[in-house]
Structure 1
């Protein structure tokens, strides 16, 4: 039976939500072997969650000095697996994931497809181009075709697996390896991760200012327990940080509920959120493109509508 390797996204034994998406995306290619690269004990910690997501096997690729090495442990582990028992490899389309994919492609002499939104059982992968207006299909050659899957593009569909853990010691570091001597962990707020949130509230240039972004976008997101997003215009104006940007040059999200506040609906933004479940748009101009894809459209002033909505939600 065919099989496929999936590089697990995890930190200190906590499974990243995108991993379930990767396992779902990889499943058409064969039986999933989830590869956990990290410090000893982390694979065992996430094995139950990986089994629930659909992994038939958990490969425990560990190294005591993992925290002091950069990118190479993941590349070494996947290279060893692919060289010994060739199979497709699926990783997340993050900055690190794309670099891992490129290094693996060179080592394994296999093709690589980046930022895909789905994989078919024949090995072909789908890409969105021109702001999501066209979907293309491509295939990668080699014994170990490599795919990086865009976070949020595939809806996770858990499927019970065995989750049996198999140890795989990593090669020791050499004096040629890049070593990390210190690092500062990212500080996460109380809001959910943008790529994984069930509710996203986004603001565009129409919110008017940084204060408006706080008063309307952040206030509504907080009362709904959602994440905060922004258009590129809002980021360029300084209303929101770059990490909140959604669209062709930002994050791709697919929440159950998406609020678009003061957003015109340029194709660059729509490409990052048009697969959302229910889209609610609030804008003063009824002719804006955002209303063409909105499930609920409200034409009016944010200053009146959003505070009233927040007040009503707080009562409930």
Structure 2
């Protein structure tokens, strides 16, 4: 049976949702093993072993992996690939940092952001900003795959009985050094796991108007806050709010696009949302072609009115 190694993305305390989707994808290839790398990650490993469908959890507990530096993690993964047929990682910022390095060390082609598993080495993946879906087949002996989380259901966090096994560290490569990090803290749900997202576009005109119009609606709905690339480039909000091909790929239950015209790169990041609601004064805006509900009018009047009625 094919043995698949899944890299576990975690925050030092809990397994992140993106990993659960990657596990579901990996289960379609064969037996699922997990890799938990970090420092003081015993609790994460125990939680990972309880995930449904997991057979074994490899734990690399070492200071070299404390900050998840891809240059240190990739050699660890490559070493474990002697006993595995495929490596799967979520297509997150971290996953997309580690997987190509693993592919390079193994001298194989990476299959990026798969949407489905069609066979032992056959997958579908988006091309042309999601406007076309390609079916690709790998001819390499080892597979390296990243998974678009919105395309797969999340594996259950409970129900599994995997065994935990320590693996030897490959140490610090000395190539890079962790200097520091600035993490944006918010009481709102994270975009990739939010059930409702309210996004604003360039039409809002300023950071002050974005805060005045978008944030109260999001607060009323308990929603995550997103933005188009144009809004981010204009400085209305930080980069981690960006939804789209060059931002975050989301698929919430409800996606509310306010003042967003619907450029291809933005649609690529949110068109899998269950229900899309668009508010825009331009009735010919491309966003209305994918919207389930559309409201044509001045967002500065409509959105406060909507917020007030909630």
Question: What TM-score results when the alignment is normalised by the length of structure 1?
Answer: 0.89
Any idea what the Cα deviations from partners look like across 1:260-294, whole Å, max 9, x if unmatched? 11112222211110000111111222222222221
1:69 and 1:234 map into 2 onto residues whose CA distance is 30
Alpha-carbon deviation of 1:89? 0.4
Alpha-carbon deviation of 1:32? 0.9
Is this contact kept in 2: 1:5–1:32, CA < 8 A? yes
Alpha-carbon deviation of 1:96? 3.6
252, 261, 264: which one pairs with 1:264? 261
More deviation, 4-13/49-58: 49-58
Confirm whether residue 190 of structure 1 aligns to residue 187 of structure 2. Answer: yes
Structure 1 pair 131/142, CA: closer, same or farther in 2 (3 Å)?
closer
| Residue matched to 1:311 | 308
2:115 and 2:68 map into 1 onto residues whose CA distance is 30
Describe how 1:117-266 pairs up with structure 2 within 5 A. Answer: 117-158=115-156, 160-173=159-172, 177-178=174-175, 180=177, 182-266=179-263
1:300 and 1:185 map into 2 onto residues whose CA distance is 38
Is this contact kept in 2: 1:280–1:297, CA < 8 A? yes
Is this contact kept in 2: 1:200–1:221, CA < 8 A? yes
Question: What TM-score results when the alignment is normalised by the length of structure 2?
Answer: 0.90
1:69 and 1:263 map into 2 onto residues whose CA distance is 35
More deviation, 291-300/91-100: 91-100
| Residue matched to 2:5 | 5
1:248 and 1:65 map into 2 onto residues whose CA distance is 32
Describe how 1:43-82 pairs up with structure 2 within 5 A. Answer: 43-67=42-66, 70-82=69-81
Any idea what the Cα deviations from partners look like across 1:239-274, whole Å, max 9, x if unmatched? 222222211222111011100111122222111100
Structure 2 residues not aligned, in runs of 5+:
none
Structure 1 pair 120/61, CA: closer, same or farther in 2 (3 Å)?
farther
Number of aligned residues? 309
Structure 1 pair 196/50, CA: closer, same or farther in 2 (3 Å)?
farther
Structure 1 pair 101/181, CA: closer, same or farther in 2 (3 Å)?
closer
Is this contact kept in 2: 1:37–1:73, CA < 8 A? no
- The alignment's C-alpha RMSD in Å is 2.2
Structure 1 pair 53/230, CA: closer, same or farther in 2 (3 Å)?
farther
Alpha-carbon deviation of 1:130? 1.6
